[in-house]
Structure 1
Amino acid sequence: MLSLLLPLTRAVTYTRWLHLVVGAIVPLCCAMVYPGLSGLSTGDWVLIAALPVPLALAVAMVPSVRRAEGLQAQLMLFPVPHAHAKRYAIPDISAVPSASWTDRARTGVWLVLRLEAGLAVALMTERLMTLSLSLAGAAAGDPGVAVPVLPDTGASWVYVLWALVPLVVLVTAATGAGALIARAARRLLGPSVEERLSELEERTEQLLERNRIARELHDSLGHALTLAVLQAGAARAAADPKFTDRALEAVEETGRSALEDLERVLLLLRDTGRTTGSRPDLATADRLLDSARSSGAQVDAEVTGRLERLPGPISREAYRMLQEGLTNVLRHAGPVQIAVRIAVEEARLRLEVRNPLAAAAPSAAGTGGGSGLRGIRERAALLGGGARAGQEGGQWLLHIELPLR
């Protein structure tokens, strides 16, 4: 008996119930137009259930509908703030717009399932609640209340017990229906293979970035602390005031340098925390071009191919390479004319940044061995591609090629 009453104490029972009942609004609104809501036969109810199906499939073609349904499912099918929060804290539900026809098809199936299940649950709720109220009225001795499922025993107290049965059945059925719709939501609104791969790639990038920061902290702070310990030990062993002063100066300088390194790493950590999950990619490269133009440079950009088909890591790293290329031009050549070419081909991405060579500083026009260019080459090499920079046709050219597979 306690197991039957346990769902009454869980908030998720009522939020899922409400989520299901809301799905019946569209079929019932269609029924108001045709065939009406009174004197309905079994065929009429089948028609009411079938009428909104084409509408649901058409709405599912809108990419943002998948996001809206995912958010609703997260909030109502898997609410976090309740007694079983640990179990439902991280639902496997996607809340992003549809990115493929497969996503649209899954969203369409979900909408149809939600409408049909909602209509069934709404009708079940109405019938069982009506029956329970009829039994309660019979228990109160109302002569106008008829209970066709039970014989007239003449004992009104019997109806008090029977009035609870429809409620128990309703809660049990609603709990089961809620569990089934939640399982269906995980299958139909869950992340697609592409979304899972993108999330895994981004998580891998974050782990690599954390490891790099950890190595940098270990190297800079470990080196500074080692020097400080050695200088302090030598000063104590020497017992020479002049040597002690020199050692303290060295410790002070080493500590100041270590603090600068620590502040730089902490700033990087704070910046990483703000941009996690929304790092810019080539699809938002217009902001870079507008920024260069606002500095006085004349930027001529040419984009060929579909930027949205680029894998996440390549698009994000290419954004950083373009950013560094534009920064190098502005730093070494000033506000000159810049030609940017982005070409998404079948198997690779080509990225070029050109600027007049005459205005370039010797450091940029010479060996091309600056830290910025070196960082670009390292990024390209990690992605299996390559980058080169140098003079070509009286211009300074940065050329990057990245494989897409």
Structure 2
Amino acid sequence: MARGPHPHRHDAYIAVGGLLGGLVLIGAGLYTRTRHDPVSVLDQDWAVALPLLVMAGCELLRRTRPGPALLVGTAAVVADLPTRGSLATLVMFTDLVYAAVLYGRPAFARRIPWITGLLTVVAAVVPLVAWRTPQALLLGVGVALVSLVPAATGWVVRNHRDTAVAERLRAEQTALLADMDRAQAVLAERSRVARELHDMIANHMSAVAIHSTAALSLDDPETSRQALAVIRENSVEGLAQMRRLIGVLRDSGDERPPTAAPTLDGLEALAEAARGNGLEVTLDARHGKVPTPVELAAYRIVQESLTNALKHAAPGPVTVTLARGAPPGPPRHSDGDGALEVRVTSPYGHRGGPRAPGSGAGLIGMRERAALLGGTFAAGPEDAVWTVRATLPLGDGEGEPA
């Protein structure tokens, strides 16, 4: 706990109030012991006022210097024993014990209840053994009221305060973690939408860019007419898919998805569209039934691979192969284990015709799709052939071979 150099305002009020109350008691002749008490060796008023003044000064330090204040206050209580005694001095001492436990350093605060408890036991047992009278126990009760009770009270209050602080910190940490989770969820959703948008639109926009370049570069009306037909077809399809994606985003609160996700049954239509754009596509799909997440990822990987082949591949055959295989990683012995292997090859080399620019986002998206399913992804040239290879685990028994 931070401790300032100046006394707390409330501590000053306590010190002034205790001092004034003690002086009033002295002026009224009210003491804790009578003049004829054998313990009261010093029966002058100044002898009572001196410990009272010291105790009031200690109250100024009850919050800023609780340890030294308690030690000096204990000395003041001992000095008050030979006098007629002041109730205000004892009351302020109990407050010092309470404050030392509440505001003191943890190690120091833990020791005070044990020390006061030991003093209480000694104050009760020693007089009982020495005087052999039950009234001797009252001395232990008095010591307990002055020291043990305020120490125990301070310890209980400190525990409640520390618990409240810990709960507040835990709540703040929970809120911070919740904010981080929300931020990560938003980032993941943005990445998913970016992948879907790229995979759905890039194919059509690439075809539009390539055929429009061809139409502008060739002075042939028939070629230009065919190119414009392909451009229109891809523009209409791309616009339709864009509208579907916007519908998904707008209706995300609905329990029913507005459109069905593409499946591997649509690979033939995808290959036919690629053939219409000028690619020589051969499709070999022997995948059987696979889980929906794997089906969507495989479809998008094939779609993006064909888009890249349209933009960058040299003239020649493009082969798309889907088959079951072993999952990546160490071998497992479950009958349901398996993986879908996706392989797309296209000619790699100089391309003489028009090309569409690429940003590299397609490769990143394919790699992310494979990683989200715990699979592997690789793309690069292999013997003058550009090869895209992805291995997507199927999970436990979710797909059966056809």
Normalising by structure 2, what TM-score? 0.32
The structure that has the greater radius of gyration is 2
With structure 1 as the length reference, what TM-score do the two structures score? 0.32
